[in-house]
Structure 1
């Protein structure tokens, strides 16, 4: 389990402070609690809080992950530009390398993200 999200210790963000909620409209996060915190069962590492853009939504769909179509069975209304969403760290990095990464909310991005993405890169993409 990721130590930053253990039940006995509050999750930290990439700045070393307490993790701030990312978004609840729609509800985001691996745990669907609004926080971009992860654990060992989250193989995708949904730890990067982003402000999604039209470009990123199109990019994600082209990569096989349609985030715009509602999925009522999962109480997912579909995303629109401006929504805050926990994105998988490897996918965000891939999108960055392709020039399509959405802005990042550093205060809401879990510290474990730094195992995948350098802080300087996140800071350069801060919302």
Structure 2
């Protein structure tokens, strides 16, 4: 059975380049071993990347030992739900791709909060 997104439909992949997700499968899938709850598919911005680095989570520097090339503004990434909420509270929440955000994110933030920061692409 496929995972569901916050819209109540099938979870859509977040990104294959860079390859994201707790399982590095391109999706914001989760299970009980995902202690960080990598559930929120975002489009990262300079402001968010700087905020994250200031909080001790450098998402820019490549870490090949973790198959991580480093992020640049515009990349899509499965973000920990608590980090997104923390960024929201600080005014640095990156835009969210709702179709690719796992429904369990709603255990950390409200759908209204996510929708307020919804990424609207020219394709939708």
TM > 0.5: yes
Match of 2:108 among 105, 112, 116: 116
1:45 maps to 37
Q: Give structure 2 stretches of 5+ with no counterpart.
A: 120-124
> How many residues are aligned here?
119
Match of 2:47 among 30, 41, 55: 55
Query: Structure 1-normalised TM-score?
Result: 0.92
* In structure 2, distance between residues paired with 1:104 and 1:37: 15
- Measured on the aligned residues, the alpha-carbon RMSD in Å equals 0.6
Cα deviation, 1:11-51, whole Å, max 9, x if unaligned, reads: 00000000000001110000100000111111110000000
Give 1:1-127 correspondences, 5 Å limit: 9-127=1-119
* In structure 1, distance between residues paired with 2:45 and 2:28: 18
* In structure 1, distance between residues paired with 2:83 and 2:20: 16
Q: 84-93 vs 68-77, which deviates more? A: 68-77
* In structure 2, distance between residues paired with 1:74 and 1:65: 14
Q: Give structure 1 stretches of 5+ with no counterpart.
A: 1-8
1:75 shift after superposition: 2.1
